[in-house]
Amino acid sequence: MHTVIEAPINAISTNKDASQVVVAGRNVFRVFSIEDDAFVERCNLRVGKNLNLNFSAADVTWNPVEDHLLASAATNGAVVTWNLNKPSRSKQELVFNEHKRTVNRVCFHSTEANLLLSGSQDGFMKLFDLRKKEVNCTFSGQSESVRDVQFCPHHYFQFAAAYENGNLQLWDLRRPDKWEKMFTAHSGPAFTLDWHPDDKNWIASAGRDRSIKIWEISHKPRLLHTVQTIASVARVKWRPSRKYHISSCSLLVDHNVNVWDIRRPYIPFASFEEHRDVVTGIMWKNDPYVFLSGSKDCTVYQHMFKDAVRPADRANPIGIDTNVNGDLGLAFSDKLLVAGKSQTGSSMLPHFFRSKGPDRSEQFTMASSSAVIFESVDKSTGLEWFIECATRYQLSGKSVEDLCDHNAAVAGSLNKHQVAQTWRILKLLYGGNTATPCPPRTVSVIGSPAVGEAHKAESEKVNLKQQLDGHLVQDHNRSTHTDGENKDTGDTSTAVSEDESDAESSLSLTNIASGQVNQQGDFFFGDGELETFDYPVTMANMDSMQDWTLPTEAIPLRHEIQDRLDSPDPLQNATDSPSSANESEFSSQAFGNAENATPMYNLQAIPFASQNPPWEFSHLVCDMLEYFAEQGDVQTSVSVLIILGNKMKTPVEDQKQEQWFMAYLELLTRFRLWGIANEVIKLSSHRAVASLNQQSTTVHTNCNKCFKPLTRAGWLCDRCKALTSTCSICHLPVKGLFAWCQGCSHGGHLEHLREWLMTHKHCPTGCGHICEYT
Amino acid sequence: MQSIIEDGLRWLMADMPEDRTLRDEKSLRFFLALCSRDQNSRSHALENISRALDAWVDGYGSPQEAVYHNNHHDARIQPLDRKPLVKELLPDLLRFSIYCPFEDVRSKCGALLLDLQERGLKIPRRVGRGPSRFIPENEIVPVDTDDEETQMLFVDAFLQNNRLEHIVQVMGYHPKYLDSFLKTQQYILRGDGPLPYDYRHYIAIMASARHQCSYLINLHKTEFLLCGGEETWLKGLDHIPQKLRDLYEIIKILAHRPWLISKNHIEKLTRGNDNWSLAEVMHALIIIAHFHAMCSFVYGCGIHPEIDEENGHTFRPSSSSDSEDNHSSSNSHSGSPTSTDAAAGIEALMERMKQLNETGEEPTQEEMLARFQKVESQSLELEAGKSQLSPKASILCYVEDPSFGYEDFAMRGAVQEIPTFRAQDFSWEDQGYSLANRLYSDIGTLLDDKFNTAYNLTYFTMGPNTDVDTSSFRRAIWNYIHCMYGIRHDDYNYGEVNHLLERYLKSYVKTVTCYPERVSKKDYDNFMRGFKHSEKVHVNLMLLEAKMQAELLYSLRALTRYMT
The rounded distance, in Å, linking the Cα atoms of B480 and B437 is 27
Q: How much is the pTM? A: 0.65
Which residues of chain A does B479 touch, with a Cβ-Cβ cutoff of 8 Å? Answer: none
Which residue from B284, B291, B237, B239 is spatially nearest to B265, judged by alpha carbons? B284
Question: Which residue in the set B52, B445, B491 is minimally distant from A76, CB to CB?
Answer: B491
User: Hey, which residues does A716 pair with through a beta bridge?
Assistant: A713, A723
**Residues A269-296 pLDDT 10s:** 899 988 888 899 999 988 889 999 999 8
Share of chain A above pLDDT 90, in %: 9
Share of chain A above pLDDT 70, in %: 68
CATH class of A2-313: mainly beta
Return the SS3 of B441: coil
The rounded distance, in Å, linking the Cα atoms of B540 and B457 is 12
Which residue from B438, B441, B398 is spatially nearest to B255, judged by alpha carbons? B398
Residue ranges per domain, chain A? Answer: 2-313, 316-332+367-382, 383-434+615-694, 441-563+598-608, 698-774
- Compute the 3-state secondary structure of chain B and give helix, strand, coil in percent, each to the nearest 5: 65, 0, 35
- Pairing of β A29-34 and β A167-172: unpaired
**Residues B293-348 pLDDT 10s:** 999 999 988 888 887 777 667 776 655 444 444 444 444 444 444 445 566 677 77
Which residue from A230, A180, A188, A219 is spatially nearest to A205, judged by alpha carbons? A188
Question: Which residue in the set A208, A277, A708 is minimally distant from B564, CB to CB?
Answer: A277
Residue A571 confidence (pLDDT) above 60: no
Q: Where are the alpha helices (DSSP H) in B16-38?
A: 25-29
| CA-based nearest residue in chain B for residue A730 | B70
Q: Is B58 on the interface with A (CB under 8 A)?
A: no
Confidence of residue A462 (pLDDT cuts 50, 70, 90): very low
Share of chain B above pLDDT 90, in %: 11
- Pairing of β A115-120 and β A103-108: antiparallel
Q: Is B434 on the interface with A (CB under 8 A)?
A: yes
The rounded distance, in Å, linking the Cα atoms of A553 and A490 is 12
Average pLDDT, chain A: 72
Return the SS3 of A451: helix
- Which residues of B are the active-site residues? 213
Residue B385 confidence (pLDDT) above 60: no
Question: Which residue in the set B362, B422, B431 is minimally distant from A251, CB to CB?
Answer: B431
Residue B233 confidence (pLDDT) above 60: yes
Q: Are A386 and A411 in contact (CB under 8 A)?
A: no
Across the interface, whether the CB atoms of B365 and A189 are under 8 A apart is answered no
Q: List the Cα angle A79/A82/A87 in 5-degree steps.
A: 150
The rounded distance, in Å, linking the Cα atoms of B264 and B253 is 13
pLDDT value at residue A575: 41
Would you call B478 exposed, middle or buried from its count of C-beta atoms within 10 A (0-12, 13-18, 19+)?
buried
Q: Are A79 and A98 in contact (CB under 8 A)?
A: yes
User: Hey, which residues does A332 pair with through a beta bridge?
Assistant: A318, A370
Q: Is B32 on the interface with A (CB under 8 A)?
A: no
**Residues B42-63 pLDDT 10s:** 888 888 888 777 777 765 544 4
- Pairing of β B487-488 and β B421-422: parallel
Q: Once rounded to an integer, what is the mean pLDDT over residues B63-91?
A: 55
Q: Is A164 on the interface with B (CB under 8 A)?
A: yes
Which residue from B506, B133, B184 is spatially nearest to B324, judged by alpha carbons? B133
Q: How many helices (H) and strands (E) in chain B?
A: 26, 6
pLDDT value at residue B320: 44
| CA-based nearest residue in chain A for residue B366 | A52
A to B CB pairs, distance under 8 Å: 132
- Scored b (16 or more CB within 10 A) or e, B9-44 reads beebeeeeeeeeeebeeebbebbeebbbeeeeebee
Question: Which residue in the set B62, B368, B491 is minimally distant from A728, CB to CB?
Answer: B62
Confidence of residue A541 (pLDDT cuts 50, 70, 90): very low
- Pairing of β A181-184 and β A190-195: unpaired
What value of ipTM does the predicted structure carry? 0.71
User: Hey, which residues does A683 pair with through a beta bridge?
Assistant: none
C-alpha pair distances (Å), A192 with each of A112, A116, A166, A348: 23, 18, 10, 48
Confidence of residue A464 (pLDDT cuts 50, 70, 90): very low
List of residues 6+ apart from B292 with CB closer than 8 A: B207, B210, B211, B254, B255, B547, B548, B551
Query: Would you tell me which residues 693-722 of chain A have a C-beta closer than 8 angstroms to some C-beta of chain B?
Result: 704-708, 712-713, 716, 718-722
Q: Give phi and psi for B520, each to the nearest 5.
A: -120, 170
Q: Is A52 on the interface with B (CB under 8 A)?
A: yes
Across the interface, whether the CB atoms of B5 and A50 are under 8 A apart is answered no
**Residues A687-742 pLDDT 10s:** 777 777 777 667 777 776 677 777 666 677 777 767 777 787 887 777 777 887 87
